[in-house]
Amino acid sequence: MRKLTRAVAVTALVAAFAPIPFTASAVDQSKGYPGYCTSGTGVTVVVDFQQLGGTTIVRCNPQGAQGTGLDALKGAGFQIAGVARWGEAFICRVENRPSAAEQIPINGQGPYREACVNTPPAAAYWSYWHAGNNCAWRYSQWGVKNRDFIQGGFEGWSFSLNATADTNPKPRIAAVRPGTANEACTAKEEPKPSSNDPNAKAPDQGQGGQNPGQGGQNPAGGQGGGSPGGTGGGQGGGTGGSTSGSTGGDAGGQGSAPNGTPGTSGTGGPGAPPGSALPPPKPRPSSVADDPSRNVAFTGGENAPDVNEVLKDQSGASDWAPWVAAGAVVILAAAAWLTARRRKRAREA
């Protein structure tokens, strides 16, 4: 009986601690709609998996009110996961990519699996971009929670694998809403962060004229700069405007942690040591949007498998696990009762 009891106890523990899928979902069709936003209200969100493989997804968050980059991503229906240390300030998965079971070939260190515990490495992370309509994509200096999206504009997430500050891939969808190709880029430059305050936000830039502003010199701090990444508190610097009126650059890794060096934009990116010196942003000659005819194929994500089911398959979890655990507990209790009863009878005899 003791052996049976022990066996049942082991079974109960295994069932009770079996992997349970995260509370994630596939693209939430109740939020936003597939494709570009059809007007200047709301924001178009582009998710480009790049070397991870898979079709690029384009969806609209029709939210007319002001909102953060995180609001834009969620409001378009995307499922995300943040790292355990910083939460959704550092996004490590979009639509369950890269999954915990996925091996990522990082140059020089072999296969890597994203555990989403701490900030992702500089060689494999989701880079965060933004653009006004008919404007060039800009690598965000601010974190997804620290800046507001541009009404009528674009938010982009592009997976950066084995790239440098100068080669981080921008989304392969031009930031041009259909039917607006002849309109001018009207998004103002965003000043770079100059504080390591994790709660600081980018000043509201609106959608005024083409004045590039004083990118990089506005004291309204934030978490830009280039230290540890993920999609976190700051977006690793690089796209800040310059005082000469150029439109800023695409240098920089993706995001800095709250202990980063936000005042200096540059090439740090995820995993860069806090306090490291970073070079100035690389200037760009213009803010002309890419040619939409060069867009890669994209979808609204309607046929993507349910993320809960994917996680369940990857973890080996089963819908029957709770029932097995409950049954094992009942059997364990019954076995304990029978054992106690037999001992009592033995003493009485």
Give residues with Cβ within 8 angstroms of 226, minimum separation 6.
165, 236, 237, 238, 252, 253, 256, 260, 261, 264, 265, 266, 267, 268, 269, 272, 276, 278
pLDDT at 323: 59
pLDDT at 228: 37
Residue 197 has pLDDT above 80, yes or no: no
Residue 283 has pLDDT above 50, yes or no: no
- Summarised one tens digit per residue, pLDDT across range 68-77 is 999 999 999 9
State the pLDDT confidence band at 110, using cuts at 50, 70 and 90. Answer: confident
Residue 94 has pLDDT above 70, yes or no: yes
Decide the pairing of beta strands 43-48 and 154-161: parallel
pLDDT at 25: 44
Tell me how far apart the alpha carbons of residues 188 and 209 are, in angstroms, rounded to a whole number: 7
pLDDT at 317: 54
**Structural contact between residues 312 and 21, judged by C-beta atoms closer than 8 angstroms:** yes
Average pLDDT rounded to a whole number, residues 277-301:
71
Residue 181 has pLDDT above 70, yes or no: yes
3-state secondary structure of 251: coil
pLDDT at 346: 77
pLDDT at 195: 62
State the pLDDT confidence band at 282, using cuts at 50, 70 and 90. Answer: very low
pTM of the model: 0.64
pLDDT at 187: 83
Decide the pairing of beta strands 80-83 and 87-94: antiparallel
Q: Who wins on pLDDT, 7 or 197?
A: 197
Average pLDDT rounded to a whole number, residues 137-154:
94
Q: Please, is 186 exposed, middle or buried when counting C-beta atoms within 10 Å of its C-beta (0-12, 13-18, 19+)?
A: middle
Residue 328 has pLDDT above 80, yes or no: no
3-state secondary structure of 267: coil
pLDDT at 257: 37
Strands (E), the chain: 33-34, 43-48, 56-61, 80-83, 87-94, 104-106, 110-112, 124-131, 138-139, 154-161, 298-299
State the pLDDT confidence band at 276, using cuts at 50, 70 and 90. Answer: very low
Q: What is the mean pLDDT of the chain?
A: 72
Output DSSP code: residue 245. S
Residue 249 has pLDDT above 60, yes or no: no
pLDDT cut 70: percent of the chain above it? 59
3-state secondary structure of 46: strand
Residue 268's DSSP bridge partners are none
Please report the sign of the dihedral spanned by the C-alpha atoms of residue 209, residue 212, residue 218, residue 220.
Answer: positive
**Structural contact between residues 70 and 88, judged by C-beta atoms closer than 8 angstroms:** yes
Please tell me whether the peptide bond between 98 and the residue prior to it is cis, using omega within 30 degrees of 0.
yes
pLDDT at 319: 58
3-state secondary structure of 184: coil
